[in-house]
Amino acid sequence: MSVSIGYWIGFFVFVVIMLALDLGVFHKGNEEPSVKSSLLWSAFWIALAFIFAGGVWYLGGRDHAVDFITAYLLEKSLSIDNLFIFILVFSYFKIAPKYQHRILFWGVFGALVMRVIFIFGGAALLHQFEWLMYLFGAFLVYTGIKMFFEKDEDQDLNDSAMIKFFRKILPLKENATEPHFIVKENGKKYATQFLLALLFIEASDLLFAVDSIPAVLAVTQDTFIVVTSNIFAIMGLRSLYFALASILPMFRYIKYALAGILAFIGLKMIVNEGSKMLGSSFAISNMLSLAVIVTFLTVAIVASVVVSRREAKQS
């Protein structure tokens, strides 16, 4: 979909305004967002994404709108892994709920910048070297299969190479009581546990982007649709976390849905690129991709809820 520079500027101005309102007005104080307000904010961001999809339909037609919704739901579903990381990190660093929103705000801001860079870089590479579609596709299939067979084990961040690296290079004061990333004591500056938590979240998102960006580029290489769908998905991530944090561990089968989605998208990249190379008109459509994503997530969530309720009754 070809859009003028004005649409790009307008969209990023909108993002900056929403970020400023979020931190400077709606969440100015350090307080834990309630589940009710988080659900309302999540609904707001989801509704806004679908309104934007309506605008894409008006400007570019039905197919581009389907591309946007598919890319949005794909990124939203793959971002669920980030939510589990948030729980793990905040628990490990003992970050009080009232301070978590501010850390996630800056985490999301950094993620937005990195995702835009990754998307433009990935789209440019695929445009220049089409054979990379096979490589990305094979990588996603491998990642999906690996995720499917991985055992669920409690992670201990004490063994994390990332945490060990940050502790090695940064002067630390990990018992800060105020939510400052840097504190000054006896004329010397120290990083706090709040900064460590932020750095770990940023680094984790960078690793997750290695999976999600190729997957979204398999849906469309239209940079405007990929960038906007990614940003809408990430902007609503904080509210989704606070709305679901208490019940996320109950969704035990989500991992298998995400594994299936990654493998399917990888297979789609390989099949569609191979078909194109052979001059065939066959292609796995984005409408089918959308149906697969929704089906996998729905089945995983319903199965998780049913099994959890059954276990609760038996206990």
Lookup result for tokens 């469309």: 220
172 beta partners: 191
Q: CA 165, CA 160: separation in Å to the nearest integer? A: 9
Question: Which residue would you say has higher pLDDT here, 69 or 24?
Answer: 69
Cα Rg for the chain, rounded, in angstroms? 20
Torsion sign across C-alpha atoms 77, 43, 24, 175: negative
Lookup result for tokens 């800056």: 106
Query: What does the pLDDT read at residue 69?
Result: 93
Q: CA 88, CA 140: separation in Å to the nearest integer? A: 25
Task: Give the distance from CA 247 to its chain's centroid.
Answer: 18
Q: Is residue 54 over pLDDT 90?
A: yes
Identity of the amino acid at 253? Y
Q: CA 249, CA 205: separation in Å to the nearest integer? A: 20
Mean pLDDT of 17-45: 76
> What tokens does 278 get?
């052979």
Distance linking the first and last C-alpha atoms of the chain: 55
Query: What does the pLDDT read at residue 26?
Result: 63
- For the chain, the structural domain boundaries read 5-152+193-314
Query: Of 29-43, 51-65, 105-119, 189-203, where does the model show the most confidence?
Result: 51-65
Query: What does the pLDDT read at residue 89?
Result: 84
